[in-house]
Amino acid sequence: MKLSELGEFGFIERIRQVAGSAPGVVVGIGDDCAVIEVPAGQRLLTSNDLLIEDVHFRRQWTDMYRLGRKSVAVNVSDVAAMGGAPRHLYLGLGLPEGLQVEELDQFLAGFVEAATEYGAALVGGDTCRSPGPFFISVTVEGAVPEAELVCRSGAAPGDAIYVSGTLGDSALALRQLSQGLVPAPELARRHHDPQARPTLGRQVAAAQLPSAMIDISDGVLADLGHILEASGVGACLELESLPLSAPFRKALQQDPALIELALAGGEDYELLFTVPTEREAWLAKISTEVPLTRIGELTAEVGLRISDAQGRPFCLSRGGFNHFAGGAQK
Amino acid sequence: MKLSELGEFGFIERIRQVAGSAPGVVVGIGDDCAVIEVPAGQRLLTSNDLLIEDVHFRRQWTDMYRLGRKSVAVNVSDVAAMGGAPRHLYLGLGLPEGLQVEELDQFLAGFVEAATEYGAALVGGDTCRSPGPFFISVTVEGAVPEAELVCRSGAAPGDAIYVSGTLGDSALALRQLSQGLVPAPELARRHHDPQARPTLGRQVAAAQLPSAMIDISDGVLADLGHILEASGVGACLELESLPLSAPFRKALQQDPALIELALAGGEDYELLFTVPTEREAWLAKISTEVPLTRIGELTAEVGLRISDAQGRPFCLSRGGFNHFAGGAQK
């Protein structure tokens, strides 16, 4: 069925039927605004992310169901990065001609499924036809207890740097797709259906372990760089300690230059956080859903240094992802 | 200057420098999320609206400064419709190739100026290049005291129907633009730089006068229709009582069919609210920034009837704006 046959309000009703609800939602879809009760002692966290066809995704490389899931994950990841729990999602859709209602149903199914997994509900948004590409704008609201908020600016020299999961898998999958290759299933999943880490973010924030935290969306170098800038510190990273998956290590054996994807590739959606050394012992006591790896430490001297297995300085040929330049999807 | 020369983070820094701050903002632009303190006893109101080039606006008909102002107004209007005060804005921008940094500076100047006028601050968002049209996604958060929240669903038979300002001006300007005519300045202003009504919305909500309220974005018939549906009531509108501006009346004398623009034209951004008759006397005591007009009343019989000056039924040739069909900007 064509969207124009269903009409805007028909589509909104379709969304309302699948959206569900969540604690704290006084009014959901169907009024001028969603109405939310924020519990006393909690801070509201809000973030907005765009996903644009042929910039962030290609419809021939993914499917609408996984695109719906990913649209949630990339937003939830921002709430996780401040120690919060995601609660409410607002979905703005610019829909190109020719997109079928059945495709949108798949997108919504993925979106609502991922939202539910993260404990959030779809409570508002806007839909409109697009004369160009498929545009997705997601706004997420989350909550964090006042004392457990983690910002980018609290890091200090000597703090250890930790990351969750493995790095570079998504960027490697994208590289392979753009070369006409078929990525290994584990790599493809990391790119098309990434997992945000709000449970981990809440765990470490509730234990008040991180001095600063960020999610890795533009590559570990760029995102660590934001912490360094906000906190006024520098860092030393150990190349050998970067956590890499088995398929990534396999590809790296063929082409050692791929290590740059683990440093500057983007779309990992893992958490990077810094921990004062006196709290590192507590970190080991937390049972997390995903492994944590110490990849370096902060320094009083500003700047970001990387050393290889022999302790020699490692230089990178390029920086992080520039959303205004060509970009990797082109 | 081209955007690609400035880079994504250069542009975000540019936004941060003009964005200002607002009460309740713990962390603004520059972390993974904005962090907000919602005062006790207040409900959070959130809405998201898209503005898409060649659907909602044409760059040859407007300028970037007024487009920035309008992007704020259409969102603030949703908060006003529930009795709330706008507080925080999140701006998502999909930027087409060729857009100059100077044009974006004008857009931002209009956006921040309008936000400040409404008492809101720009505290977050996302920017990305667009391979198609210029896309604007705005999310607004507002606050309303718990007891003063006004929904669409509280209307009852016998309630009087009021609207603020005048109707049809924006739609008439758009009609004239699409015919290659130059609208009168008052009409052009209503279309390119509409005024949202949060002060009025707060006034009537604080006095607990409306039983239901909505903003008129899709035409008075469509938006009144949402109240009727949510409240399970009907309505009688008096065609003669519709508030019309002097330039609109002048055009109407030439072409009586233009009355449909006042009923179904869209983009008025006035408030429509229903008032129980016993509270109407209180309404007259409120000094408002904009005139209020009684245009009809609610009925127990469902459906929407319009009567002309002679009391005869008036039939409309078309419904409200369908965002998925051709749309008036084409």
Residues of chain A with pLDDT under 70: 316-330
What are the angstrom distances between the C-alpha of B291 and each of A171, A205, B295, B325?
58, 52, 13, 34
Residues of B in contact with A267 (CB under 8 A): none
Tokens of B92: 């998502």
Pick from B7, B48, B149: CB nearest A137: B48
Q: Which of A213, A298, A120 is nearest to B33 (CA)?
A: A213
pLDDT greater than 90 at residue B314: no
Rounded to a whole number of angstroms, the distance from the CA of B315 to the nearest CA of chain A is 22
Interface mutation target, options B71, B139, B228, chain A, most CBs of A under 10 Å:
B139
Q: What is the topology classification, in CATH, of domain A6-148?
A: 60s Ribosomal Protein L30; Chain: A; (3.30.1330)
Are residues B95 and A215, on separate chains, in Cβ contact within 8 Å?
Answer: no
Tokens of A3: 């969207």
Give the Cα separation of A226 and B284 in Å (integer). Answer: 55
User: Helix or strand or coil: residue A175?
Assistant: helix
Give the Cα separation of B248 and B186 in Å (integer). Answer: 10
Give the Cα separation of A27 and B41 in Å (integer). Answer: 16
Q: What is the pLDDT of residues B16-39, one digit of tens each?
A: 888 877 788 999 998 999 999 999
What's A82's DSSP letter? Answer: T
| Mean pLDDT value across residues B121-137 | 94
Burial bucket for residue B116 (CB in 10 Å: 0-12, 13-18, 19+): middle
How many residues comprise chain B?
A: 330
Quickly state the pLDDT bin for B320 (edges 50, 70, 90): very low
What integer pLDDT is reported at residue A247 of this predicted model? 97
Residues of B in contact with A144 (CB under 8 A): 35
| Mean pLDDT value across residues B45-70 | 94
What integer pLDDT is reported at residue B124 of this predicted model? 94
Residue A47's closest chain B neighbor by CA? B33
Percentage of chain B lying above the pLDDT 90 cut: 80
Question: Which amino acid does the sequence have at A82?
Answer: M
The answer to whether A76 touches A86, Cβ cutoff 8 Å, is yes
What integer pLDDT is reported at residue A66 of this predicted model? 97
Are residues B32 and A152, on separate chains, in Cβ contact within 8 Å?
Answer: yes
What are the angstrom distances between the C-alpha of B223 and each of B193, B214, B226?
21, 7, 5
Give the number of other Cβ atoms within 10 Å of residue B131's Cβ: 16
What integer pLDDT is reported at residue A275 of this predicted model? 98
Pick from B92, B124, B323: CB nearest A137: B92
Where are any strands of DSSP class E within chain A? 25-27, 34-36, 42-52, 85-96, 121-130, 135-145, 160-164, 212-215, 234-238, 271-275, 292-299, 303-307
Number of DSSP helices (H) and strands (E) in chain A, helices first: 11, 12
Pick from B34, B92, B144: CB nearest A50: B92
Q: What is the dihedral of CA A86, A92, A98, A100, to 10 degrees?
A: 40
Going by CATH, does the domain composed of B3-148 fall within 3.40.50.170? no
What are the angstrom distances between the C-alpha of A283 and each of A130, A273, A276, B216?
47, 11, 11, 54
The reply to whether domains B3-148 and B160-307 share a CATH topology is: no
Alpha helices, DSSP H only, in chain B? Answer: 3-6, 8-19, 64-80, 101-117, 169-178, 185-192, 198-206, 220-231, 246-254, 259-264, 280-285
What integer pLDDT is reported at residue A233 of this predicted model? 97
Rounded to a whole number of angstroms, the distance from the CA of A60 to the nearest CA of chain B is 17
Q: What are phi and psi of A246, to 5 degrees?
A: -60, -50
Are residues B26 and A95, on separate chains, in Cβ contact within 8 Å?
Answer: no
The answer to whether B183 touches B172, Cβ cutoff 8 Å, is yes
Examine the predicted complex and report whether its ipTM is higher than 0.90.
yes
The answer to whether A216 touches A269, Cβ cutoff 8 Å, is yes
**Pairing between β-strand B42-52 and β-strand A34-36 as defined by DSSP bridges:** antiparallel
Give the Cα separation of A267 and A272 in Å (integer). Answer: 13
Q: List, edge to edge, every strand of the sheet that includes A292-299.
A: A212-215, A271-275, A160-164, A292-299, A234-238, A303-307
Give the Cα separation of A109 and A122 in Å (integer). Answer: 11
Give the Cα separation of A168 and A194 in Å (integer). Answer: 12
Q: What is the pLDDT of residues B164-176, one digit of tens each?
A: 999 999 999 999 9
Residues of B in contact with A133 (CB under 8 A): 130-132
pLDDT greater than 50 at residue B112: yes
Residues 6+ apart with CB under 8 A from B98: none
What integer pLDDT is reported at residue A322 of this predicted model? 44
> What's the half-sphere exposure (Cβ side, CA atoms, 13 Å) at B297?
9
Q: What residues does each domain of chain B span?
A: 3-148, 160-307
Q: What is the pLDDT of residues B183-227, one digit of tens each?
A: 999 999 999 999 999 999 999 999 999 999 999 999 999 999 999
One-character DSSP codes across B91-119: EEEEEETT-BHHHHHHHHHHHHHHHHHTT
Give the Cα separation of A247 and A238 in Å (integer). Answer: 21
Tokens of A117: 């997994």
Residue A84's closest chain B neighbor by CA? B33
Residues of B in contact with A44 (CB under 8 A): 35-38, 44, 141
Rounded to a whole number of angstroms, the distance from the CA of B285 to the nearest CA of chain A is 27
Give the Cα separation of B135 and A52 in Å (integer). Answer: 10
Residues of B in contact with A135 (CB under 8 A): 50, 52, 94, 130, 135, 137
Pick from A33, A135, A322: CB nearest B47: A33
Tokens of B322: 């369908």
A184-188, B5-9, B172-176, B266-270: least confidently modelled range:
B5-9
Are residues B33 and A139, on separate chains, in Cβ contact within 8 Å?
Answer: no
Residues of A in contact with B41 (CB under 8 A): none
Q: What is the topology classification, in CATH, of domain B160-307?
A: Phosphoribosyl-aminoimidazole Synthetase; Chain A, domain 2 (3.90.650)
Pick from B52, B127, B325: CB nearest A130: B52
Give the Cα separation of B318 and A40 in Å (integer). Answer: 48
**Pairing between β-strand A160-164 and β-strand A234-238 as defined by DSSP bridges:** unpaired
Give the number of other Cβ atoms within 10 Å of residue B329's Cβ: 16
Quickly state the pLDDT bin for B83 (edges 50, 70, 90): very high
Residues 6+ apart with CB under 8 A from B258: B168, B172, B175, B248, B251, B252
What are the angstrom distances between the C-alpha of A218 and each of A57, A164, A275, B9, B266?
15, 15, 21, 12, 41
Are residues A92 and B49, on separate chains, in Cβ contact within 8 Å?
Answer: yes
